[in-house]
């Protein structure tokens, strides 16, 4: 599979657009990509320019999902959300679904990534 790359602004309307763009991929791939995008909207800010990349062949090896944004200060945090919490589950969901996840930092951007088998 050729890597897919999509540049967009992190807005609530971009979430279903991203899901549609990845519609032929596995549900877990779409879910992880939209969770990472939602994290940018909620914690970096609405309207932030992002690049979403999906690399690999779902169902044949592993798939890597990357979301790059220009804010080097705001990093994802794995929280323990209670049953009544209204937020804080995104990275816990990502942690449960993926084999691993992390952050690559550069002077002018960060990339939050995850990998699924």
What was the pLDDT predicted at 76?
A: 81
**Which pLDDT does position 61 carry in this prediction?**
75
Angle subtended at Cα 117 by Cα 49 and Cα 79, rounded to the nearest 5 degrees: 55
pLDDT score for 62: 87
Residue 87: the pLDDT is 59
pLDDT digit string (tens) for 48-90?
999 999 998 656 678 999 999 999 998 887 766 655 555 566 7
Q: What CA–CA distances, in Å, run from 106 to 77, 110, 111, 112?
A: 18, 6, 8, 12
Q: What is the mean pLDDT of residues 78-104?
A: 76
Q: Identify any residues that bridge with 111 across adjacent strands, giving them in sequence order.
A: 68, 104
Specify burial of residue 39 (Cβ count, 10 A radius: 0-12, 13-18, 19+).
buried
Contacts for 72-79: CB closer than 8 Å, 24+ residues apart? 72/105, 72/106, 72/107, 72/108, 72/109, 72/110, 74/43, 74/44, 75/103, 75/110, 76/39, 76/43, 76/103, 76/112
């Amino acid at each position: 599979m050729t890597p897919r790359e999509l540049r967009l602004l992190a807005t609530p309307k971009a979430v279903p657009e991203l899901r549609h763009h990845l519609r032929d991929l596995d549900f877990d791939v779409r879910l992880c990509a939209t969770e990472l995008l939602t994290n940018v909207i909620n914690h970096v800010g609405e309207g932030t320019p992002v690049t979403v990349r999906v690399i690999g062949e779902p169902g044949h090896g592993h798939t890597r999902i990357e979301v790059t944004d220009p804010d080097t200060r705001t990093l994802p945090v794995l929280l323990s959300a209670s049953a009544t919490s209204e937020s804080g589950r995104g990275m816990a969901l990502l942690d449960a679904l993926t084999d691993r996840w992390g952050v690559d930092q550069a002077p002018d951007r960060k990339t939050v990534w995850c990998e699924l088998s």
